[in-house]
Structure 1
Amino acid sequence: MKRWLPHPLLTPVLALIWLLLNNSASVGQLVLGLLLGWAIPLFTLAFWPERVRLSRPFSMLRFLRFFLYDVLIANLTVARLVLVGPRALNPVFVQVPLDLRNELAISLLANTTCLTPGTVSARLSEDRRFLLVHALDCTDPQALIDTIKTRFEAPLKEIFEC
């Protein structure tokens, strides 16, 4: 089974993305989406460095809830900064110490930080123990570090490393 369906969770996700991109739920698009969702993981299997293992897949829902809420709030905050004009912004770089060791989890944390408006992952240390994050407007760097660790890193650690 694993040989013919190497990433069973990825297949329906790719099919759903296909349907959303085509803005159609017709039978033909569904069949094509499922075919692509099956074929893409199968033909790219050699490029995956390791098999993805989720320790607690339902923790992904908590992670997504925090992420989507933070993206919404950050968009409103950045929009306010743009519309009001540049007041005394407090841009800052902070080094977030990482407890994560799983490469996929670290990558997701870095990408989550980049996808949240107002913050950007700038660099991962060579030993993968620190993530350098730039914040557009931050008055309390320690609060930013705590937010990233509790809202994003902790759920990712639950999902991938427990």
Structure 2
Amino acid sequence: MTGDHSRRPPAGWLPHPRLALLLAVLWLLLQNRFTVGGLLAGLVLGVVIAHATRSFWPQRPHMRACGKVFAYLLGVFRDILVANVAVARLILFRPAARLKPCWIVVPLDLEWPEAIAVFAGTITLTPGTVSCDLSADRRSLLVHCLDAPDPDAMVRVLKERYEVPLKEIFE
């Protein structure tokens, strides 16, 4: 990526087909039952919302490795389960005085805003870590860790487990 985020929004009657389809599916899930009317309403809402928000999506991220998305999601789901158990153990069995909470700054190699948002969201979804701030130049992310005896190791883990696969997916 060259860093040029100033291109025009996608044109055409359906500028973001995946977004429209996702919104239609979410609409059907919210209805709690399938009807033809619900499907049509979801499709209309999806197209209308995709059109209404196209100026907020000046360019679509290029996802080179769609097959890796599934592997990434499985890895994140596994990490969330493992971290839930680890945080529960910390809270229930370790005195608070022995915790090593800290703030870490994670330097970013990601350039796509969508990839950075997924990275920050993944960190926040994983119990024990919270993404708190993105630097103005989008080159570093401030993260709070509940227990990180070695902050440098935590930075390496976050970059290896989440940022590297996201670079393969988005760039």
Same fold (TM > 0.5)? yes
Aligned residue number for residue 141 of structure 1? 151
Please state whether the residue corresponding to 1:120 is helix, strand or coil: strand
Please state whether the residue corresponding to 1:121 is helix, strand or coil: strand
CA distance in 1, matches of 2:25, 2:90: 35
Query: Where do residues 70-89 of structure 1 align in structure 2 (5 Å cutoff)?
Result: 70-84=79-93, 86-87=95-96, 88-89=98-99
CA distance in 2, matches of 1:81, 1:94: 20
The answer for unaligned runs of 5 or more in structure 2 is 1-9
Within the candidate set 7, 24, 42, 1:33 is matched to 42
CA distance in 1, matches of 2:112, 2:160: 17
The answer for unaligned runs of 5 or more in structure 1 is none
Are 1:120 and 2:130 an aligned pair?
Answer: yes
The alignment's TM-score, normalised by the length of structure 2, stands at 0.82
Fraction of identical pairs, as percent: 49
Within the candidate set 8, 27, 44, 2:17 is matched to 8
CA distance in 2, matches of 1:28, 1:144: 50
Q: Cα RMSD between the aligned structures?
A: 2.1
Please state whether the residue corresponding to 2:76 is helix, strand or coil: helix
CA distance in 1, matches of 2:127, 2:14: 36
CA distance in 1, matches of 2:156, 2:30: 36
Within the candidate set 9, 18, 22, 2:31 is matched to 22
Alignment length (residue pairs): 161
Quote how far apart the aligned CAs of 1:102 are: 1.4
For the Cα contact (< 8 Å) 1:74–1:117, is it kept in 2?
yes
Quote how far apart the aligned CAs of 1:49 are: 3.3
Query: Where do residues 145-160 of structure 1 align in structure 2 (5 Å cutoff)?
Result: 145-160=155-170
Quote how far apart the aligned CAs of 1:38 are: 1.9
Quote how far apart the aligned CAs of 1:140 are: 2.6
The alignment's TM-score, normalised by the length of structure 1, stands at 0.86
CA distance in 2, matches of 1:78, 1:23: 34
**Kindly tell me: are residues 46 and 127 of structure 1, through their superposed partners in 2, closer, same or farther at Cα, counting changes over 3 Å?**
closer
Quote how far apart the aligned CAs of 1:85 are: 6.4
Please state whether the residue corresponding to 1:9 is helix, strand or coil: helix
Superposed CA offset, 1:39-73 (max 9, x none)? 21111112223233222222211221111111222
